[in-house]
Amino acid sequence: MAQVSIVSCPSYDAAVCREALLQVLEPVGGLDFVKPGMRVGIKANLVSFLKPEAGATTHPVLLAELTKLLRERGASSVVIGDSPGGLYTAAYVKNVYRAAGMHQAEEAGAELNMDFSQKEADNPAGMVAKHFTYTGWLDGCDAIIDFCKLKSHGMMAMTCAAKNMFGVIPGTLKPEYHYKYPNAADFARMIVDLDEYFKPVLSIADAVVGMDGNGPTMGKAKPMGFLAASPSPHALDLVCARLIGLRREDVPTLEAACERGLVPAEWKDLDISGDVDAFFVEDFDRIAQKNDVVFFGDMLLGKGNNPFKKALATVMQKALRSRPDPAAEECVGCGQCEKICPAKAIVMRDKLPRIDRGKCIRCFCCQEFCPKGAMKVVRPVIARVLNR
């Protein structure tokens, strides 16, 4: 059985999606895990009030066709859910369902989650997330499918299968988790802790149309033309990272998975069904999170454990790292960034956000949830030059 499967899916036509799902699932075990009477939960990416054509949410036609396949295999019920950024209430999430076209999945026989309870988990096996709060609807599922969207991401460089499981954290608590794990490496370890706790039986990436640029919500819809699937969210992510021009070390969640031995260091070490090179996405506008400090130190002082590198890293860290920055000409002064900032680093002055760089933890919540896409991820000029 292959670890990762990739197939062409050129459109969201229902017949095309059904055939592509059948083809992508067969090499990785298909839906053999489904038992008669099983309740299957699909953790979709329903990040915000965005229409399917925006390229930010799992497409409803794919969810509808997967629902049909699951019901045909004997699942008694299929429930689709997520906790978008914002209130985790029926009124709020219903509006997200409506915007994302989830009625199409309902018409195919799926339920849309309406259980907004919150549960507490003790997780002694976790590396950093030993205890966390999660969305209670998952407890009623016999198996979980992680159906993600392939997109660029301000903090994690890429959001795909592993990051999609952050949606198990209730929306209003998400900023607290960003504040609790302000370091990108620890935030990524927390994500992997969630993946390992919930253990989705299957991960599928909707990359028919994804998102690049100012993702994961306000970037550009990017036609990619494929689906990918794997029993492992980390193996799936490793291949998807390659397909948009990122290395393992560019994506903190992949680094966190690799340090636990959950994924190999190189995508070529995976058993892959499908021609990876044939699906490479040209001109993907990445929000690269490369380790500019290490590269700068290597360039000046050579590779190895030079004693001056630590001091150099301290000096260069602030100068080289990406940061959120408002585009004044696009900002409408709504103040959403000030409200959502977990570090309270943003204040509105003269209807424009002012960021206290001393407080900013670079979680990019302001960039992710700016309703106008006016908050951008900015990499310093020297960082861009050094990595050419």
Sole residue written with tokens 């799992």 = 58
- Residue 72 domain-assigned? yes
* Domains in the chain, number: 3
Q: For residues 333 and 263, state if they share a domain.
A: no
Tell me the pLDDT tens digit for each residue of 42-101.
999 999 999 999 999 999 999 999 999 999 999 999 999 999 988 999 999 999 999 999
Q: For residues 211 and 89, state if they share a domain.
A: yes
Q: For residues 197 and 49, state if they share a domain.
A: yes
- Residue 284 domain-assigned? no
Tell me the pLDDT tens digit for each residue of 154-174.
899 999 999 999 999 999 899
Q: For residues 336 and 240, state if they share a domain.
A: no
- Residue 208 domain-assigned? yes
- Residue 174 domain-assigned? yes
Q: For residues 312 and 331, state if they share a domain.
A: no
Cut 0.85: pTM above it: yes
What's the CA gap between 124 and 127, in Å, rounded?
8
Q: For residues 222 and 358, state if they share a domain.
A: no
Q: For residue 381, what are the domain limits?
A: 322-388
Q: For residues 316 and 178, state if they share a domain.
A: no
* Residue 386, domain CATH: 3.30.70.20
> What average pLDDT does the chain have?
91
- Residue 202 domain-assigned? yes
* Residue 58, domain CATH: 3.40.50.11440
DSSP letter at 145 equals E
Percentage helix, strand, coil for the chain under 3-state DSSP, each rounded to 5: 40, 20, 40
CB atoms within 10 A of CB 319: 12
Q: For residues 305 and 265, state if they share a domain.
A: no
